[in-house]
A and B are shown apart, each in its own frame.
Chain A
Amino acid sequence: MEDKKFVYMDHAATTFTKKEVLDEMLPYFTEEFGNPSSVYSFSRATKKAVETAREKVAKAIGAKDDEIFFTGGGSEADNWAIKGVAFANRKKGNHIITTKIEHHAVLHTCEFLEKNGFEVTYLPVDEYGMVSVDDVKNAITDKTILISVMFANNEVGTIEPIKEIGKIAHEKGIYFHTDAVQAVGNVPIDVNDMNIDLLSLAGHKFYGPKGVGALYIRKGVKIDNLVHGGGQERGRRAGTENIPGIVGLGKAIEMATSDIEGHSQKLRTMRDKMIKGIQENIPYAKLNGHREKRLPGNINFSFSFIEGESMLLLLDQKGICASTGSACSSGSLEPSHVLMAMGLPHELAHGSIRLTLGDLTKEEDIDYVLDALKEVVSKLRGMSPLYDDFIKNGGK
């Protein structure tokens, strides 16, 4: 409004599509429009493009080409992994283990399964949002068919002990799925080394296009097909492929995983500067999530006495795009289920804000946002009766 500045600090929500990615996609909207399933040689280009993209995705996570299945995004991949495994292995058992801090694409899918005769254990997390490997072990019963634990949490950025959980799952012969939507491009991933059987990813979180993702399905995993129809995606997810999207996903994941360490080091430096700046300049601010085992671009704070929603609106007026990490589809904010699971009191869960850094973040943005945060927090506290009481009582 009065300020035309634009600072995007919501890379965990989505990212822009990189120019190089878009450039690779463009021909597939126009000149290279052939249907990959057709016989004539004109279609060979698109068929080849899909397979090249598949190779790139496979390479990025240490999988084989024929273990990658393209989907319409991360939520679809999560739904498929969980429902597909649950229904296909029903005879073996009806128990699923997941956590309280999963994305809604996982949580609501599990709730759906509960209504259809499955039992789901939602594991708690500690104050840093970390799942306990022992809890996973103890939750396993002889009916357990699937464990689903996210790679890194979208709100607080905590990176979970995936390799260890996968190891336990494999010792017990249980399938292990991880929602890695936030992790790809930020953390090195190797599905074999990490004992992962199913992995969800989404293109728009790492500078690819929206509406395209993939599910990694380890060879031999018993899973129902998602879309019945033609033979696309080896008959598991029928329907003519989203060629430009798939091409973009391939290019984006290739770029995002080519220098994970360099990319994340850059983000970590800015992230740590911001965290330090907030801790030193704004009193009664609590860092949410794990200090070290944390996504390189994630900053999540709770500010006592004020609401995250109000902060977002005032930051928006200063051209800053932030979030609380948990928004209902209406755009109205609920107290975060993740922060509640971490044991934060309702007020603090309501007073949280998430800033996620990425390729659009510049050094000077950190200072600008720090100044804005200081101003907004002190303005809102000035209007807060809670803060008023707190100060009157001598800060108790």
Chain B
Amino acid sequence: MREKVVLGMSGGVDSSVAAYMLKEEGYDVIGVTMQVWPSDKEYEEKEGECCSLSAVNDARKVADKLDIPYYVMNFKDVFEKKVIQYFIDEYSIGRTPNPCIACNKYIKFGELLKKANMLGAEYVATGHYAKIIKDEDTGRFLLKRAKDDKKDQTYVLYNLTQYQLSHTLMPLSGYTKDKVREIAGEIGLDVAHKKDSEEICFIPDNDYGAFLKKRIPDKIKEGYFVDMNGKVIGKHKGIANYTIGQRKGLNLALGKPVFVIDIVPEKNIVVIGDEKEIFRSELYAKNINFIPFDNLKGDMRVTAKIRYAAKESPATICPYKDGVMVKFDSPQRAITKGQSVVFYDRDIVVGGGIIEDIY
């Protein structure tokens, strides 16, 4: 019997082409769209449709075209708890979370994998740009950078466990985005030219401030911008609206470019300063996951990146308290609490964790 795989389908070009490739490879593919957004009356009225219906329609069309079974599954409750609530909690204490990492850990490779097992499927598959290989010497599964460097998504996948990696397929690993679009066009998928989504899926208009204000109105309190000496230089709209290194949207006219250099949730203040103040060399990260091994024994040379869009930079990591201390060879711009730091050994993902403190 052919091996069964449950593929997460968003209606976008990547997961659609992934469906096609899996089918070509001889898998028994079941397409699933995860319904994750809470219903939002306002959004429904504005867009005239309910809960990301257009994504569902696009995914269903692709499934019909490829003649694979397709289901919409409800993950709203668990998404609300593990992703949205986490997102809100982090922002409300002045940190900047990455909800996609939480979603991958708990939803796509957690809950969806469980549902896949329920449907008798050994694997989940996604349209991520990353590669999973088995190290025959150690028997461990490794996560490797995708062929398309520009699209590489290993950063958001560092949390995957050995169990998850061994039950995951990523059929796009050997392709560039351009090639994927080309394939989509060749097989006649309407989604071939659909725009890449870059926003956080549950905040389609990208207005975090408004979203947080709606969800936690009591916690978004106005406060003061202060300079490094503690002098008040203006009023802010609530700490949740800011992130380290931010320059735009501060509405401060100080005659020179200024940046958010720190957020102090206990005092509800946002500290403003020169750009040079946001370059730091050391950080402490917690909630660590390692992929090629279970625990870090001593110092290790890696390249590390401190946010999705950051460049990797050489660093040394070593065990420290519950986590890892990361010492960069050169200072990094705007290291931010709540973001993830991810370590690489050339093309291999060593692991990563959540930034807890910066020195």
Contacts and interface: CB of A to CB of B under 8 A. Distances in A.
A331 B119 contact: no
A6 to B, nearest CB: 15
B114 interface: yes
Contacts of A332: 33, 35, 51, 56, 72-74
A378 to B, nearest CB: 13
B119 A330 contact: no
Contacts of A313: 71, 73, 118-119
A310 interface: yes
Contacts of A314: 118-119
A39 interface: no
B35 A330 contact: yes
Contacts of B119: 313-314, 317
Q: Bin chain B's interface residue count.
A: 20 to 34
Interface string B57-98: 000000000000101111000000000000000000000000
B260 to A, nearest CB: 39
Given A1-B69, A309-B73, A333-B74, A328 B118 contact: no
Contact of B72 (A317, A331, A380, A383): A331
Interface string B16-33: 000000000000100001
B115 A328 contact: no
A383 to B, nearest CB: 6
Contacts of B74: 309, 332-334
A330 B53 contact: yes
Residue picked from A1, A313, A330, most chain B C-beta under 10 Å: A330
A41 interface: no
A393 interface: no
Contacts of B117: 383
A332 B36 CA distance: 10
Interface in A296-344: 309-310, 313-314, 316-317, 328-334
Nearest to B54: A330
Nearest to A310: B118
B216 interface: no
Nearest to A330: B56
Given A332-B72, A334-B74, A310 B115 contact: yes
A219 to B, nearest CB: 37
Interface of B: 28, 33, 35, 39, 49-53, 56, 69, 71-74, 114-115, 117-120
Given A330-B52, A332-B72, A383-B118, 19 more contacts: A1-B69, A310-B115, A310-B118, A313-B71, A313-B118, A313-B119, A314-B119, A328-B35, A328-B39, A329-B53, A330-B51, A331-B56, A331-B72, A332-B33, A332-B35, A332-B51, A332-B56, A332-B73, A333-B74
